[in-house]
Amino acid sequence: MATDTTKRMSSVKNWKPLFIENSKIPVWLSYIAPIDIGAITLGPIVISRNEMSEATKRHETIHYQQYIELAFIGFPILYLGWWAWNLLVKGQEGDTAYYNIPFEAEAYANHSDENYLQNRQRYSWIYYTSS
């Protein structure tokens, strides 16, 4: 039984989101965001304003895996909570508050590593909570 569970968890690690490129949605969202959004992960879907590089696809797939770890609903709650904490309590500027969200810190630190998603441990974003 434990082997079946291990196999299922291993296969979830290989799940990828649906990528939608050349959309205006990131452009529109950039008007209210603290950064210029190139791509955004919304649950199992990644929407990009242009064609995505492999590094961008890895970055957004890291977010998709974070969504899975937090049963989808936890990700946006924690994401917005950390951004608000960084902005309002820590007094960081909008873009700095964004880059210091643990989910973003993990994704930016590892999106260039072609092997990261295969080697990534579950809940790795926790290691970025002190930033």
Q: What angle do CA 95, 29, 49 make, to 5 degrees?
A: 100
Q: List the chain pLDDT tens, one digit each, 131 residues.
A: 556 655 555 689 899 999 999 999 999 999 998 899 999 999 999 999 999 999 999 999 999 999 999 999 999 999 999 999 999 999 999 999 999 999 999 999 999 999 999 999 999 999 999 75
Can you give the pLDDT at residue 36?
Answer: 94
Can you give the pLDDT at residue 3?
Answer: 60
If you search the block for the tokens 């924690």, which residue do you land on?
A: 78
- Alpha carbon dihedral 22, 28, 29, 32, in 10-degree steps, equals 160
Can you give the pLDDT at residue 11?
Answer: 85
Can you give the pLDDT at residue 127?
Answer: 96
Question: Phi and psi of 48, rounded to 5°?
Answer: -125, 145
Instruction: Please check whether residue 117 is in contact with residue 68, taking contact to mean a CB–CB distance below 8 angstroms.
Output: no
What's the sign of the alpha-carbon dihedral 14, 18, 22, 24? negative
Indicate the pTM of the whole model. Answer: 0.90
